[in-house]
Amino acid sequence: MRAARLIKMVLLLQSRPVMTAAELARELEVSERTVTRDAQALSQAGVPVYADRGRAGGYRLVGGYRTRLTGLARSEAEALFLSGVPGALREMGLADAASAARLKVSAALLPSLRDAPDTAAQRFHLDAPAWFREPETPALLPVLAEAVWGDSRVLARYRRADREVERRLEPYGLVLKAGVWYLCARVAESGSLRTYRIDRFGAVDALPERFEREPDFDLPGFWAGQAERFARSILRAEVVVRLSPEGVRRLPHTVDPPGAREALEGAGPPDADGWVTVTLPVESEEVAHGQLTALGPEAEVLAPARLRKRFAADAARTAALYGPGED
C-alpha cells in the first residue's frame, strides 16, 4: 500500500514543477504529516525530493529526475490501454500520436507486462455510436480538436434553426455522445460556456490568439450538468398516472429518466391494491402516449382527460382485435 503511494507521489511530482503538502495530501488521500514522512522515505531511498520552505514553498524533484514505469502492476498496465477510444482518436486526427505513445509505454514496461495491450484489447471494446445509425465524422472535427489541444480561439459559423450565427469561441473540450460529437466552448464576447453540435458548424477558422483556460474547469462535470438541464428542459407537460408495482419498476426504462426520477420521488404511498399515483413530467401528450403505451396494463392514465380518452380508445380497439376470451 505504501509502496504504491510512494510511486504515485513521485509521478505527481514529475508531472508538476512543485506541489504543496496540502495538494499532495489531497491527491494521495493522506494527512500532510504522512506526506512529510513519505518525502523523507523517498529521499532516503535516493529519490531527490526537495522541500522549499515558506508560504510559496512545496515539494519538488531536483536534477530533472525521472522514474521508469517499472512500478506498474498488471491491472494498471492493462487499464492504461483501455483509456482511449480508437475510433474517436482517429476521427480527431490523433491516431498516429496515440499509437506512438502506446509503443513508448509498452517499451517501458517490464517484460512480464508486455502483453498488456493485447490482453486488454481482447477483453474490452467500446463501441460509442448508437444502434441503427451510420456514424459520420464531422469534417471540422480535426480543426476543433487542434484548437482544444492548443488553447486557441476560433471564429465559427453555427447553424441554428432559423439562421446562421458567427461567434468567436474558446474551445474547452470535446464530447462524444452516442456517436455525436459536441464542443464545449466559452463565447469570447459574453464569457458564457455553451455546448455545440459539431455537425452544425458551417465553418471554423483557427485564430492566431490563445486563451487562458479556467484552471478549475471540469469537463465531465460540466457535461453532466448540461445533459441533466437539457433533459429536464424538454419536459414541458405533465400527466397523472397510476402505476402497478411492475409499472413502477419499468417506468425508468420506458420514459425519460429525469422525469421518471422526479415522478417516483414525489409519489405518495401505495393504495389498497399496491398501486401508486405519480405526476409525470413529459415532453408532450403525444410523446407520453407512445412511451406509456409500452407499459400496457401496468399503467392507468388519470389526467389529462384527453389523453385518458385516447388510451381508453386504444384499449377498446385492442379488445376488439382479440375478441372475447377463450376458455
Q: 6-15, 50-59, 69-78, 285-294 — which is least confidently predicted?
A: 69-78
pLDDT for residue 126: 62
Report the SS3 class of residue 274: coil
Residue 259 has pLDDT above 70, yes or no: yes
Q: Do 153 and 207 contact (CB within 8 A), yes or no?
A: yes
**What is residue 317's predicted lDDT score, i.e. its pLDDT?**
94
Between 108-112, 170-174, 240-244, 287-291, the lowest mean confidence (pLDDT) is in 108-112
CA–CA dist 244, 247 (Å, integer): 5
* pTM, full prediction: 0.57
* Mean pLDDT over each residue of the chain, to the nearest integer: 84
Region 177-196: what's the mean pLDDT?
Answer: 89
Radius of gyration of the chain (CA): 28
- Per-residue pLDDT averaged across 2-8, rounded? 81
Residue 126, amino acid:
L
List pLDDT tens digits, range 92-108.
776 666 666 666 666 66
Our CA dihedral for 6, 10, 16, 20, rounded to 10 degrees, sits at: 40
Rounded to whole angstroms, the Cα distance separating 75 from 4 reads 13
In this structure, what C-alpha cell is assigned to residue 3? 509502496
Q: What is the pLDDT confidence band of residue 127, given thresholds at 50, 70 and 90?
A: low
Residues 6+ away with beta carbon under 8 Å from 297? 244
Q: How large is the average pLDDT for residues 173-191? A: 88
Low-confidence winner among 97-111, 184-198, 246-260, 279-293 (lowest mean pLDDT) = 97-111
Residue 44: what pLDDT? 86
* 229-240 mean pLDDT: 85
Distance CA 77, CA 71 (A): 10
Residue range 206-220: mean pLDDT, rounded:
90
Q: Please, are residues 228 and 215 in contact by the beta-carbon 8 Å criterion?
A: no
How many alpha carbons fall within 13 Å on the CB side of residue 137? 13
User: CB count, 10 Å around CB of 122?
Assistant: 9
Tell me what pLDDT residue 270 has. Answer: 94
pLDDT at residue 84, rounded to an integer: 59
